[in-house]
Structure 1
Amino acid sequence: MPTPASERPNCLACLHFYITHEASRPYGCRALGFKSLQYPSMVVFASSGIHCQVFSAKNRRTQTEHK
């Protein structure tokens, strides 16, 4: 049974996510090798019924690391 939307991977926080700057396919996933009109995690769920299995969280720097 699918989990709630709040538990699905957030593409914006994924290491593999990128913006393509193509109007017809603005979002991409480097790990899965595709571009789409929707966020890649939504495409994966719509086509397979399971949440993205290649999600990898970005290494976020904290405010103190910026100084």
Structure 2
Amino acid sequence: MRNKSNNEQPVAKPINCIKCVYYYVTWDPAMPKGCKAFGFKTRELPSVVVKKSSGHACLKFEAKH
């Protein structure tokens, strides 16, 4: 087991958009995944796009029941 130094941050698990109420599948073959909360379509999971764009994990994630 490796010891962490004081300045290492824990690695957060990526958000699984498929389990989110705002995720949807589009009819657009070029952009098959969408996010209703942010209003965009993409090829990647929307949470990946949000992370790349803002540098923060998606704050709109809401688990499906």
**Which bracket does the TM-score occupy, shorter chain normalised?**
0.7 to 0.9
Query: 2:11 is matched with which residue?
Result: 4
Query: 1:58 is matched with which residue?
Result: 64
Unpaired segments ≥5 residues, structure 2? 1-7
1:15-56: CA deviations, max 9, x gaps? Answer: 100000211100000011000111100000011111000000
Larger radius of gyration: 2
Instruction: Give the residue type in structure 2 aligned to 1:4.
Output: V
2:57 alignment partner, SS class: coil
- TM-score after normalising by structure 1: 0.77
Unpaired segments ≥5 residues, structure 1? 60-67
- TM-score after normalising by structure 2: 0.79
Q: CA RMSD for the aligned pairs?
A: 1.8
2:47 alignment partner, SS class: helix
Distance 2:54 2:35 in 1: 16
Tell me the matched-pair count. Answer: 58
